[in-house]
């Protein structure tokens, strides 16, 4: 098997661990889930990532979603450069923010108005504050295995049994913060109905195409049931489209499924690789946000001109043809990976623009199924992919992010590496 040279990465990591907790600024980058040390990046170009040791990889992580056009797309780079030359931040409104909000509203009819933040975590936190203000209720229902950023109240795990109250998933999260969170297994209509019967909810919050336990698409009718149960309960339906937005379709999961949420959380693609996120909904709800209304929420760098320029350039390149190409790339990759896996107990879950290779014989339907996957096999396969020049998500519980920069050559390189990596397992 070809092996990675990683002397420079190893040197940087040795220094990084003395200055950054675990050597990184976000945990998954440390690659602990696949049992190796992190790879330090030098640069990216298109579908390719080049590390500090000069190893070249086909990159299927693409910064975990924002880079739907691949690395350093010339038009996006030019937009950011032009914006930076005019000043990096003003703390005062700029015309680009209006254009970005209009672009979002054009794609998502449910989002008449939006408010920008600097991260998806902030956008989730703020959307839930608004839902609580609008309904005058505290309880939030979320799904097991869904991730909505590291907001205290949403960093909760389910206890045992159906429709349980959340327990903190991390030290430092107060029990009081998760006491108002109800957790239900994904794709479980009975558990959902039991929870809505028992609690007066401010919101049902869901990733409509959950991709943070690996990709686990909704069963037919499940998103419609969320809408129906939210209405019957008097709760708002909040779609966290930080991953699915502007990716699974031009108008995200809400367009693809035909189910319309009350509030939408956006991030990743909307910032084009620069820190930005947003939340939005109908004017009547959004005008509760300060200074139009009484619900406080603010941000020094919110609507930052670099992020707005990157986001606008990214969205404007996403025409109908782009979504057809992205879907075709995803299908070719998924079919190729299934063929490469042969008789191995592997499931490839996919929707346009997203994919997960689960090391499990049965289809994955909820978080319990995902958690039952063979993580050691995934780790070994992923390490072998790296050694063959393919950078796949270094965790069983993450999605692959196909981009418009992944051409036939990138897919072929990936499938050859995948076959070799599968072969190395047996
Ligand atoms: C990434 C992500 C978030 C958090 O966004 P950050 O910008 O990392 O804070 C929230 N929800 C979903 C579905 C995500 O994938």
CB neighbours of 185 closer than 8 A, spacing ≥ 6?
143, 144, 158, 162, 191, 366, 367, 368
Pocket of ligand 1 contains residue 143 by CB under 6 Å: no
pTM attached to this predicted model: 0.97
For residue 49, list its beta bridge partners: 44, 57
Report the pLDDT value the prediction gives residue 162, as an integer from 0 to 100.
Answer: 47
pLDDT at 235 over 80: yes
Task: Give the distance (Å) from ligand 1 centre to CA of residue 7.
Answer: 32
Taking the C-alpha atoms of residue 285 and residue 123, their distance in angstroms, rounded to an integer, is 15
Task: Give the distance (Å) from ligand 1 centre to CA of residue 242.
Answer: 6
Q: Nearest to residue 256, comparing CAs of 180, 327, 204?
A: 327
Q: Known catalytic residues?
A: 147, 240, 268
Q: How far is CA 256 from the centre of its chain?
A: 17
Place 377 in a pLDDT band, splitting at 50, 70 and 90.
very high
Q: What is the pLDDT of residues 205-228, one digit of tens each?
A: 999 999 999 999 999 999 999 999
Place 369 in a pLDDT band, splitting at 50, 70 and 90.
very high
Q: Torsion over CA of 256, 124, 294 and 262, rounded to 10 degrees?
A: 20
pLDDT at 368 over 70: yes
State the chain's mean pLDDT as an integer. 96
Task: Give the distance (Å) from ligand 1 centre to CA of residue 144.
Answer: 15
Contact 356, 399 (CB under 8 A): yes
Ligand 1, atom 11: nearest CA belongs to which residue? 148
Q: How far is CA 50 from the centre of its chain?
A: 23
Task: Give the distance (Å) from ligand 1 centre to CA of residue 412.
Answer: 30
Q: Which atom belonging to ligand 1 lies closest to the Cα atom of 210?
A: 13
Pocket test for ligand 1, best of 147, 208, 244 (most atoms within 8 A of CB): 147
Q: What is the pLDDT of residues 3-59, one digit of tens each?
A: 668 999 999 999 999 999 999 999 999 999 999 999 999 999 999 999 999 999 999
Pocket of ligand 1 contains residue 273 by CB under 6 Å: no
Report the pLDDT value the prediction gives residue 169, as an integer from 0 to 100.
Answer: 86
Place 164 in a pLDDT band, splitting at 50, 70 and 90.
low
Report the pLDDT value the prediction gives residue 159, as an integer from 0 to 100.
Answer: 62
Pocket of ligand 1 contains residue 120 by CB under 6 Å: yes
Pocket of ligand 1 contains residue 261 by CB under 6 Å: no
Pocket test for ligand 1, best of 24, 145, 268, 270 (most atoms within 8 A of CB): 268
Task: Give the distance (Å) from ligand 1 centre to CA of residue 243.
Answer: 7
Pocket of ligand 1 contains residue 124 by CB under 6 Å: yes
- N-to-C CA span, the chain: 14
Report the pLDDT value the prediction gives residue 6, as an integer from 0 to 100.
Answer: 93
């Amino acid at each position: 098997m070809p092996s990675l040279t990683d002397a420079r990465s190893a040197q940087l990591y040795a220094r990084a661990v003395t200055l950054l907790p675990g050597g990184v600024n976000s945990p998954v980058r440390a690659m602990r889930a696949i049992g190796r040390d992190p790879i330090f990046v030098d640069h990216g170009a298109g579908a390719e990532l080049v590390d500090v040791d000069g190893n070249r990889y086909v990159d299927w992580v693409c910064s975990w979603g924002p880079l739907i056009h691949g690395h350093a797309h010339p038009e996006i780079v030019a937009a950011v450069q032009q914006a930076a030359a005019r000043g990096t931040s003003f703390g005062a409104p700029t015309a680009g923010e209006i254009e970005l909000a209009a672009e979002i509203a054009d794609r998502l009819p449910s989002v008449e108005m939006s408010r920008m933040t600097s991260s998806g975590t902030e956008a989730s936190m703020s959307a839930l504050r608004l839902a609580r203000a609008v309904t005058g209720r505290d309880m939030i229902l979320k799904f097991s295995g869904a991730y909505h950023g590291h907001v205290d109240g949403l960093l909760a795990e389910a206890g045992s049994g159906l429709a349980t109250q959340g327990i903190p998933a991390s030290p430092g999260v107060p029990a009081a913060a998760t006491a108002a969170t109800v957790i239900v297994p994904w794709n479980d209509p009975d558990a959902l109905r039991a929870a809505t019967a028992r609690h007066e909810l401010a919101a049902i919050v869901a990733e409509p195409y959950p991709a943070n336990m690996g990709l686990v698409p909704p069963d037919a009718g499940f998103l419609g049931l969320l809408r129906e149960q939210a209405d019957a309960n008097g709760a708002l339906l909040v779609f966290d489209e930080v991953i699915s937005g502007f990716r699974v379709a031009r108008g995200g999961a809400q367009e693809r499924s035909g189910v319309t949420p009350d509030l939408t959380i956006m991030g990743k693609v909307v910032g084009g690789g620069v820190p930005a996120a947003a939340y939005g909904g109908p004017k009547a709800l959004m005008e509760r946000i300060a200074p139009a209304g009484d619900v406080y929420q603010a941000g020094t760098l919110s609507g930052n001109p670099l992020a707005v320029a990157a986001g606008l350039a990214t969205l404007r390149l996403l025409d109908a043809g782009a979504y057809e190409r992205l879907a075709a790339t995803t299908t070719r990759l998924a079919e190729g990976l299934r063929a490469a896996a042969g008789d191995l107990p592997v499931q490839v879950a996919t929707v346009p623009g997203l994919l997960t290779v689960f090391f499990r014989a049965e289809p994955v339907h909820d978080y319990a199924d995902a958690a039952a996957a063979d993580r050691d096999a995934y780790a070994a396969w992923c390490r072998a992919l790296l050694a063959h020049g393919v950078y796949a998500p270094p965790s069983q519980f993450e999605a692959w992010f196909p981009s418009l920069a992944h051409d036939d050559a990138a897919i072929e390189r990936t499938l050859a590496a995948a076959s070799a990596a599968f072969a190395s397992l047996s």
